[in-house]
Amino acid sequence: MFTLSLFFLLLNIPLLMTCLIYPRCFWSMRQDEYENRSLERGCAFFIRAVKWPVEKEYFSNALNIQTHTENQKYALALAFSMNEINLNPNLLPNMSLVFTYSTDACDWEAIFKSVIHLDLQEHKILPNYICTEDIKCGVALTGFNWATTVTIHILLNNFIFQKFIHLTYGSFYPVLSDHEKFPYLYQMASEDTSLALALVSFIIHFSWNWVGLAISDNDKGTQFLSYLRREMEKNTVCFAFVNMIPVNMRLFMSRAEVYYNQIMTSSTNVVIMYGDKDSTLAVSFRMWVSLGIQRIWITTAQWDVTPRMKDLTFDNLCGTFAFGQHHGEIYGLKNYAQTLNPFIYSDEYLLKLEWMYFNCNVTASKWKPFKNCSSNHSLEWLMTHTFDMAFIEGSYDIYNAVYAFAHALHQVTFQKGDNLPTDNRKEQDYDCKKLCSFLRKTHFTNPAGDRVNMNQIEKLQEEYDIFYIWNFPQGIGLKLKIGIFSPYFQTGQHLHLSEDIIEWAKEGSQMLTSVCSADCGPGFRKFRKNGMPACCFDCSPCPENKISNETNVEMCILCPEDQYANTEQNHCIQKPLIFLTYEEPLGITISLMALCFSALTAVILGVFVKHHSTPIVKASNHILTYILLISLIFCFLCPLLFIGHPNSATCILQQITFGVVFTVAISTVLAKTITVILAFKVTAPQRMMKYFLVQRASNYIIPMCTLIQVIVCAVWLGASPPFVDIDTQSEHGHIIIVCNKGSVTAFYCVLGYLACLSFASFFLAFFSRNLPGNFNEAKSMTFSMLLFCSVWITFLPVYHGTKGKVMVAVEIFSTLASSAGMLGCIFIPKCYTILFRPDKNSLQMIREKLSSHTHIS
C-alpha cells in the first residue's frame, strides 16, 4: 500500500506543476427558466449488456428526449462513457452496453408511480415472486438524495422480478454505506475524508482562525462536522457558529430568520457551506447572497453558485472558493455530442449545459473589459474561444461507474478463460450476487489516468482542486483553478496555491481577515478568556526578563542568565560584563586615595626614620612604630587588589592580604599599648628582672597574633577559598564579576579575630590613657581603635545591603577609613610636633616637664 501511494504521489507531481502553471478556466451561465424547478435533481439510468453491436443512432435516439440541461448532462456523460467502452476491443469484446433513458428518468415520483401503482394494477409484477427463468442482473445508476435512493433501491430489489446492482453518483451518504442493509448498492462518490484537512489547510494558509459553518442537519453533515472539528482542534481554528440547516423545507423556512441573524451578527468573514447542492442549505445560501451578506464562502465544487441574470456582481473583496475532487482530464465529450446530434448539441446549448473550460491566459487586461459586457456579448465572446466540456463531480462518477461495471462484467463473463460465452442463454446469465462481489474487488486505471478502486476500505485518500468563483452580471460566472490539495505530499506542504492567480482574481484587493482576536505580537503572550474558544484571547506583556519573539505564544521565554530582555521584550540582549575598573570614576577615586594615603604613610615613615634620635620617636618605641607604618602602607595598597578584572589569584590575595596586614597593624598597636603600660607600671628596682621578661615578651606579640591569623587563613584556603563568581541578578542588564568569599564563616572568623585584637587594644589603651609621661600614646591609640571598631561595625550591615560594585567599594572604603583612622590618630600629632614644634621635642623641655611634675607631686 505504501509503494502504491508513493507511486501515485510521484505521478501527480508533474500534473500538479502543470495545473498551477497552466490554470483552467471554467464558465457557467445560469438561466431564469430553471428558477422554479424542484430541488431534487438527478436521474435514474438502467444499464445492460447486449450481444449485438450498438450503432451511433441508438445513443442519438436515446438522447433526443428534451429535458432541462441540468439533467441532460448526465445522460450525455453516460452515453460518452458507453461509447468509449463499446469501441474498446479489449473490454467486453462482442458485447455492447446500452441504457434506458426516458422523460420520467429524472422524476423519481414518476418512477414510483409507474413501477408500483400501474404495474401492480395491471399485474405486470408480483412482489417477491419470480415468474420467469430468464433471470438477469440489471444495473441501475441513480443520482438522487439518500431518501429517494433508499426508496428506489427497495423498489428495485423487492418489487421487481429482476435483481439490480444499484450504483449511485453524486454525493456520498454515510447511511448508504451499510453493506448488510444495502448489499447491492454501491456509492461511486468518495467519503470526503480528506476534505476537512483540505479546508483547514486552506484556512490556515490565509491566517484565518474564526470561521462559520453551515451544514445540512443529517448524517452526512454530522459526519463531516466531526471530521472538521477534529482537524480544527489540531490547528487551533475555531467555529464562530455552527448552523445545522434542517432538510425539511417547511422547518427550514420557520427558522430562516434565526440563521440569517446568526450569520449577520457573527464577527467572522469566512463561512463554510457543506451539503447537497439540491438541499435547503443551497436555498439558504442563495437567500443569504441575495440579501447582501458579504462573506468569503467556501463550498464544494458540485454547488452551482453562478448568479441569476438579474443578480449583481459579488463584492470583489469577498467571493466563493470551491473544492472539487481532483481527476485527470477526459477530452472529446464536446466533439462526441456534436457528432452524435449537431442539431441539438450546438455550441450555445453545450455552453449553457454545464461548466465549460479552456486554458486561459491569466492577465487582468484580458478579463477586465469582459466584466461590463451584456449576456449576449459575453456569449459571443465565449463562442470565439475554443473550449471543451468538463467532466466534473457527478459526471465523472458516472464515467467511473460505467467502467467499473464493464470491468466487473468482463471478469465474470471471462473468468473461466478468454473464450467467448456460448450460445446457451443460461451460461450467458450472470448472477447479481456474483457480479456484485466482483464489482467490490474491481480496481483499474481509467482512460484519464486515475486509479479507481471499488473496495471502499482500500480507497485512496482524495485530492482536491481548489477553484475561485468570480461572478459577473448577466448570470455568467468564472470558475478559476487556483491550486490543489494532496494528502500525499509532505506534512505541512499538502496545499499548493498560485498566489499570482489569486492576486489577479482579487484584482489586487487584500484578502479579508477572519480572526476572533487580534494577534498577540512579539513581546506579548495570550491568555484564554473564560468560557471562550481557544481562538479568542487577550494579550498581556511578558513578565520582567521574559520575551516572546513569535505571535500568539502562550508562554513567554525566560532569558538566559547571561542575557536580558529588551524594552520591547521581543528578544534577549547579551549582558555586558561589569566590574570595578581603573577607567571609571569610582575606580580612579579609590586608586588615587589608596596611593595618596600610602604615599603619606611612607612620608611619615621617612620623617620618623630621619628623626629617630629625637625623644618623641624614642619614647614611642621606634621599632614598633616602623612596623606599624609599614603595615599601614600595605593596608592602603590592599584596595588596589579589588580593582580590575577578578581572577582566582586576586580573589585569594584580596582577603588573605587584608586579614594578615591588618592583623600585623592591630597587633603592633596592641604591643605598643602593652609597652606603655609596662613602662609605667614596672619601674621599681626589685622588679627589674620582671621588667626585662615582660619587655622581651612584648616583642613576641606581633608574630604570635599574626601566626594565629595565618592559620585561620590557611584553613580558609583549604576548606573553601575565594573564587571568581558571576552575579547576573543584582543589576538588571548587566553581569557583575565579583570575588565570592567562598566560606563566609571563614571570612567572618578573620573579621572576628581582628575585632578581638582591636577591642583588646582599645580597652588596654583606654585604661592607660591617664598614665603620667611626656609622650604617652595611650590616648591616641584609644581613639584609633575606637575609630577602627566603629568603621568595621558599620561595615557589616552596609556590606550586606549592597550588591555588585557597590559592595566592593564598601569594603575598600572601610579598609581605607580604618587605616586612615590609625594613621591620623597615632602619627599625625607626632609629625606635627616633630616638624612644626621642635621645641617640644627636646631634652630641656622634658626635664622642665619632669621638674614641674615632681614639684606638684
pLDDT at 797: 83
| Of the candidates 288, 221, 275, 281, the residue with the CA atom closest to the CA atom of residue 251 | 281
In a domain, 189, yes or no: no
pLDDT at 850: 45
- In this structure, the strands spanning 563-565 and 735-740 are unpaired
805-826 and 778-800 helices, crossing angle to 10°: 170
The residue-averaged pLDDT of 495-516 equals: 76
Residues listed for the chain: 857
Angle at 633 between CA 630 and CA 636, to 5 degrees: 155
425 CB-contact burial (10 Å; exposed 0-12 / middle 13-18 / buried 19+): exposed
In a domain, 301, yes or no: yes
pLDDT at 648 over 70: yes
Angle at 232 between CA 230 and CA 233, to 5 degrees: 65
The residue-averaged pLDDT of 616-635 equals: 84
- Least confident stretch, 13-17, 249-253, 628-632, 653-657: 13-17
555 CB-contact burial (10 Å; exposed 0-12 / middle 13-18 / buried 19+): exposed
The contacts of residue 836 (CB under 8 Å, 6+ apart) are: none
pLDDT at 241: 93
pLDDT at 239: 93
Between 128 and 691, the higher pLDDT residue: 691
pTM of the model: 0.67
pLDDT at 777 over 50: yes
pLDDT in tens, 519-571: 889 999 988 877 788 888 889 999 988 999 888 888 999 988 888 888 889 88
Q: Rounded to an integer, what distance in angstroms lies between the CA atom of residue 857 and that of residue 836?
A: 31
pLDDT at 372: 52
- Other residues' Cβ atoms within 10 Å of the Cβ of residue 823: 23
Burial 580-611 (b: 16+ CB within 10 A, else e): beeeeeebeebeebbeebbebbeebbebbeeb
Domain co-membership, 635 together with 756: yes
The residue-averaged pLDDT of 237-258 equals: 90
Domain co-membership, 499 together with 542: no
CB-CB contact of 675 with 621 (8 Å): yes
Show the DSSP H helices in 303-367 as ranges. 333-340, 347-353, 364-367
Enter the C-alpha cell of residue 810. Answer: 564598601
Domain containing 489 equals 195-328+464-505
Domain co-membership, 399 together with 288: no
In a domain, 358, yes or no: no
**What DSSP letter does each residue of 98-125 carry, written as one string?**
EEE--TTTT-HHHHHIIIIIIHHHTT--
Between 83 and 687, the higher pLDDT residue: 83
Q: Rounded to an integer, what distance in angstroms lies between the CA atom of residue 790 and that of residue 821?
A: 10
CB-CB contact of 813 with 597 (8 Å): no
The residue-averaged pLDDT of 370-387 equals: 58
pLDDT in tens, 196-217: 999 999 999 998 999 999 999 9
- Least confident stretch, 131-140, 601-610, 612-621: 131-140
pLDDT at 406 over 50: yes
Q: How confident is the model at residue 49 (pLDDT cuts 50, 70, 90)?
A: confident
Q: Rounded to an integer, what distance in angstroms lies between the CA atom of residue 145 and that of residue 39?
A: 10
- Other residues' Cβ atoms within 10 Å of the Cβ of residue 128: 7
The residue-averaged pLDDT of 229-249 equals: 91
The residue-averaged pLDDT of 291-295 equals: 82
pLDDT at 490: 79
Between 851 and 742, the higher pLDDT residue: 742
- In this structure, the strands spanning 96-100 and 572-574 are unpaired
One-letter amino acid for residue 398 of the chain: I
373 CB-contact burial (10 Å; exposed 0-12 / middle 13-18 / buried 19+): middle
The contacts of residue 355 (CB under 8 Å, 6+ apart) are: 26, 27, 28, 390, 392, 479
The contacts of residue 690 (CB under 8 Å, 6+ apart) are: 682
- Residue 167, helix vs strand vs coil: strand
Annotate 40-52 with three-state secondary structure: CCCCEEEEEEECC
CATH code of the domain in which 733 resides: 1.20.1070.10
Enter the C-alpha cell of residue 637. Answer: 595598597
The residue-averaged pLDDT of 325-354 equals: 80
492 CB-contact burial (10 Å; exposed 0-12 / middle 13-18 / buried 19+): exposed
Between 649 and 773, the higher pLDDT residue: 649
One-letter amino acid for residue 706 of the chain: T
pLDDT at 722 over 60: yes
Q: Rounded to an integer, what distance in angstroms lies between the CA atom of residue 640 and that of residue 815?
A: 11
The contacts of residue 390 (CB under 8 Å, 6+ apart) are: 26, 354, 355, 356, 357
pLDDT at 761 over 80: yes
pLDDT at 404 over 90: yes
- Structurally, how many domains does the chain consist of? 4
In a domain, 376, yes or no: no
In a domain, 351, yes or no: no
pLDDT at 225: 93
- Least confident stretch, 76-90, 94-108, 642-656: 94-108
Mark residue 16 as left, alpha or beta (left: phi above 0; alpha: psi -120 to 50; beta: remaining).
alpha
pLDDT at 854: 42
pLDDT at 144: 83
pLDDT at 123: 45
Q: How far is residue 78 CA from its own chain's centroid?
A: 49
Q: Rounded to an integer, what distance in angstroms lies between the CA atom of residue 668 and that of residue 632?
A: 11
Greatest mean pLDDT among 293-307, 392-406, 800-814 lies in: 392-406
- Least confident stretch, 36-45, 232-241, 420-429: 420-429
Between 471 and 826, the higher pLDDT residue: 826
Domain co-membership, 486 together with 602: no
Domain co-membership, 159 together with 233: no
Percent of the chain with pLDDT strictly greater than 70? 74
| Sheet with 44-50: strands ordered across | 96-100, 44-50, 138-142, 164-168, 185-187
Long-range contacts at 256-263 (CB < 8 A, ≥ 24 apart): 256/284, 256/287, 259/214, 259/284, 260/287, 260/288, 260/291, 260/293, 263/212, 263/214, 263/288, 263/293, 263/295
CB-CB contact of 786 with 760 (8 Å): no
Q: What is the mean pLDDT of the chain?
A: 77
Domain co-membership, 549 together with 624: no
Q: Rounded to an integer, what distance in angstroms lies between the CA atom of residue 628 and that of residue 822?
A: 9
Domain co-membership, 673 together with 702: yes
Domain co-membership, 468 together with 613: no
pLDDT at 694 over 60: no
Distances (CA, A) of 164 to 51, 73, 85, 436, 507: 19, 24, 21, 10, 53
pLDDT at 673: 80
pLDDT at 240 over 90: yes
- Other residues' Cβ atoms within 10 Å of the Cβ of residue 571: 15
pLDDT at 796 over 60: yes
Q: How confident is the model at residue 855 (pLDDT cuts 50, 70, 90)?
A: very low
Domain co-membership, 222 together with 285: yes
53 CB-contact burial (10 Å; exposed 0-12 / middle 13-18 / buried 19+): exposed
| Of the candidates 813, 646, 815, the residue with the CA atom closest to the CA atom of residue 727 | 646
pLDDT at 425: 39
In a domain, 838, yes or no: yes
Burial 681-712 (b: 16+ CB within 10 A, else e): ebeeeeeeeebeebeeebeebbeebbeebeeb
Q: Rounded to an integer, what distance in angstroms lies between the CA atom of residue 214 and that of residue 242?
A: 6
Angle at 810 between CA 758 and CA 643, to 5 degrees: 110
Domain co-membership, 264 together with 122: no
- Least confident stretch, 477-486, 501-510, 682-691: 682-691
Greatest mean pLDDT among 203-207, 318-322, 331-335 lies in: 203-207
In a domain, 243, yes or no: yes
**What DSSP letter does each residue of 514-566 carry, written as one string?**
--SS----TTEEEEEPTTS-TT-EEEEEPPTTEE--SSS-SSPEEPPTTEEE-
pLDDT at 532: 82
Domain co-membership, 565 together with 654: no
Domain co-membership, 424 together with 528: no
pLDDT at 238: 92
Annotate 179-246 with three-state secondary structure: CCCCCCEEECCCCCCCHHHHHHHHHHHCCCCEEEEEEECCHHHHHHHHHHHHHHHHCCCEEEEEEEEC
Q: What share of the chain is helix, strand, coil (3-state, %, to 5)?
A: 50, 15, 35
CATH code of the domain in which 279 resides: 3.40.50.2300
pLDDT at 105: 63
The contacts of residue 841 (CB under 8 Å, 6+ apart) are: 611, 614, 615, 616, 833, 834
CB-CB contact of 452 with 444 (8 Å): yes
Between 294 and 399, the higher pLDDT residue: 399
pLDDT at 428: 37
- In this structure, the strands spanning 238-245 and 210-216 are parallel
Q: How confident is the model at residue 398 (pLDDT cuts 50, 70, 90)?
A: very high
pLDDT at 691 over 80: no
In a domain, 362, yes or no: no
Enter the C-alpha cell of residue 269. Answer: 468573514
The residue-averaged pLDDT of 404-413 equals: 89
How far separated are the first and last CA of the chain, in Å rounded? 126
